[in-house]
């Protein structure tokens, strides 16, 4: 199939508690809530998040224009909340893709300085899967979001060093 301007618009993660997840992605990772769609009759809400550096053009104020703008972006994160999961004590959570059986692995956030960013994560008590100097791949980290999904943290210069062996 010929690419006629196709692009990856978003990746979706299911979340147990939208308040907790939104705080993590906006306050810890610096995303911005772009739009929320409530589907009350179907029992779920969608939260679309973006990072300013990756957004194409300013976000329109008019909702109809904003929906069209949103559908034309790349690199958006969609958080899906199924109503009731946040208060269901029997809810076991979502599979993060990294435990058996493996599947989905992680999302990735590019930062200017992995080490400084990870120092902030340490202060905030964010759970690490891998710190920047753990293992053989130095200069990148993995943290967990509130639902246990892995988030890779790397910098462009750090990735270059890893790939080229510098």
Q: Is 152 designated active site?
A: yes
Query: Of 27, 122, 152, 166, which residue is the catalytic one?
Result: 152
Alpha helices in 8-146 (DSSP H): 18-23, 63-71, 114-124
Cα–chain center distance at 124:
17
Strands 10-15 and 32-39: unpaired
Q: Judge contact between 135 and 145, C-beta under 8 A.
A: no
Which residue, 149, 44, 137, is CA-closest to 105?
Answer: 149
Q: Nearest 5°: phi and psi at 117?
A: -65, -45
Cα–Cα distance, 59 to 10 (Å, whole number): 16
Residues with active-site annotation: 152
């Amino acid at each position: 199939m010929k690419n006629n301007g196709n692009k990856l618009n978003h990746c979706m993660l299911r979340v147990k508690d939208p308040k907790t997840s939104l705080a993590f992605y906006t306050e810890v990772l610096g995303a911005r809530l772009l739009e929320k769609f409530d589907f009350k009759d179907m029992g779920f809400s969608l939260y679309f998040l973006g990072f300013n550096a990756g957004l194409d053009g300013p976000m329109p104020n008019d909702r109809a224009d904003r929906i069209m703008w949103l559908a034309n972006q790349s690199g958006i994160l969609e958080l899906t909340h199924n109503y009731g999961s946040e208060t269901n004590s029997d809810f076991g959570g979502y599979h993060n893709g990294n435990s058996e059986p493996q599947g989905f692995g992680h999302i990735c956030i590019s930062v200017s300085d992995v080490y400084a960013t990870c120092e902030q994560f340490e202060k905030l008590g964010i759970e690490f899967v891998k710190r920047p100097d753990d293992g053989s791949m130095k200069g990148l980290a993995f943290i967990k979001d509130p639902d246990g999904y892995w988030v890779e943290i790397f910098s462009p210069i750090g990735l270059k060093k890893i790939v080229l062996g510098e």
